[in-house]
Amino acid sequence: MSDGATLDISRSHVEGVDVVAVEGEVDLTNADGVHDAVVATSAATVVLDLTAVAYLDSSGIRAIDQAHRWLASGERSLLIVSPPETPSDWTLRVAGFNRAIVLESLDAAVASAIARSARS
């Protein structure tokens, strides 16, 4: 981790699913930005893509968990993309994130979101 971690957050809409992609380091200096980007979405299911995250600390975990809870309170859901062997995957595993919402690819997450929407 470096002082003033670099973080890029982008948003897109794929087949009715809001996708928030994060690139860089998520730490105390910028974790609120991740939370804010997720809660600013409007789709029933939001995909948070952490594929390009090089570092994720406890502040980032807290921000993701709070965003997840906020979405759930509105009967919305969060899916997280975190491929195996990435820094984010390790951190999410250690933090005990529900593996049912952590998927290996963006394609898998979007497909899961579409399937969830069809069941609703």
- Predicted confidence (pLDDT) at residue 33 exceeds the cutoff of 60: yes
- Predicted confidence (pLDDT) at residue 3 exceeds the cutoff of 70: no
Residue whose structure tokens are 């919305």: 76
With cut-offs at 50, 70 and 90, classify the pLDDT of residue 64. very high
Residue-averaged pLDDT of the chain: 93
- CA-to-CA distance for 88 and 14, rounded, in angstroms? 22
User: 7-119, what's its fold?
Assistant: Transcription Regulator spoIIAA (3.30.750)
Taking the CA atoms of residue 47, residue 58, residue 35 and residue 85 in that order, the dihedral angle to the nearest 10 degrees is -20
pTM of the complete model: 0.93
Supply the pLDDT for residue 117. Answer: 78
- CA-to-CA distance for 49 and 86, rounded, in angstroms? 12
Helices (H), the chain: 31-39, 58-73, 87-95, 106-119
